[in-house]
Structure 1
Amino acid sequence: MIARWERRMLQIVVLAACGVPLFTGSRGVWLGPYWLKGVQDVPVDLDSHFRYLSGIFLGVGLAFLSCVPAIETKGPRFRMLGGFVVLGGFVVLGGLARLWSLVSVGAPTGGHMFGLAMELGVVPLLMLWQWRFALRWQG
């Protein structure tokens, strides 16, 4: 009974966490960088690159979303997406790049700081939780 409850909680937390890349990725694809605070005039190449990266972010959200059903069996996919296995996957590497920006350029707006916390804090913790849960679920 406890395993079923934990499974449901893990699914709910992962589903909620997926909201971040799904929302911001969609918004970035649709609006480009103009939805960011203070952005007014953007070169065409920067707009293109921003929308490209937003599309990747949206794709990562969809890929994590695909792990929610039968989450106890999705460990390899979940860890690959987060980058836990090689500490260099999509999310963790992006968070490290964002951390480099913070150190070299300065602190971004609150939304980007939230992203940094998700990428280097929440996602690795969720990967550990999923891994530990899957080991107990199997047996």
Structure 2
Amino acid sequence: MKSKIEIYALQITLAIMGSISLIIGASGIWMGPNNMNKVTVPIRLDNHYRYLSGLALGFGLINWFYIIPRITQAGTIVRMFAFMVFLGGIARAVGFFKLGIMPDTFSLIATISEIFFTPILCYWQARIAQRKDQ
């Protein structure tokens, strides 16, 4: 029984994270970077922002339609996604240090989540999968 509750808790956590990716990705594709501060950005920056928003949307879709229903078997893809998200968090942190700026609240929370929470999520999935195999 405890194992099922833990699986459901992980699935709910992933559903929340996947929903955030879907919302951020879709809004980034639709509105571009101008929705953040209402300034015009160069076309290449807009293009790159929308591309990355498409990746976020794809992460959310794969999370919802592939990972969540197969959470005990999806260890490899969870680790691959976690690694990419972790690297994204490191990239954000590098940017903050190189620019010498304190990030806004959203960016700070995202960076902390990407660097620290993502590995914990990976460990959680591996622990559940290991228990399921026994």
Answer whether TM exceeds 0.5 for this pair.
yes
TM-score (ref. length: structure 2): 0.92
Aligned counterpart for 2:111 among listed residues 111, 116, 124: 116
SS class of match (2:122): helix
Looking at structure 2, the residues matched to 127 and 31 of structure 1 have their Cα atoms a distance apart, in angstroms, of 32
Looking at structure 2, the residues matched to 119 and 76 of structure 1 have their Cα atoms a distance apart, in angstroms, of 18
Unpaired runs of 5+ residues, structure 2, are: none
1:59 aligns with 2:53: no
Deviating 4+ runs (over 4 angstroms): none
The match for 1:102 is 96
Deviation at 1:127, TM superposition (A): 0.7
The match for 2:86 is 92
Deviation at 1:78, TM superposition (A): 0.7
Per-residue displacement from partner, 1:89-121 (whole Å, max 9, x unpaired)? x21111110010111111222111121122112
Larger RCO: Structure 1 or Structure 2 (Cα < 8 Å, ≥ 6 residues apart)? 2
Amino acid at match of 1:52: Y
SS class of match (2:33): helix
SS class of match (1:72): coil
Paired positions, count: 132
Amino acid at match of 1:35: N
SS class of match (2:32): helix
Amino acid at match of 1:109: D
Q: Which has the higher helix share?
A: 2
The match for 2:47 is 48
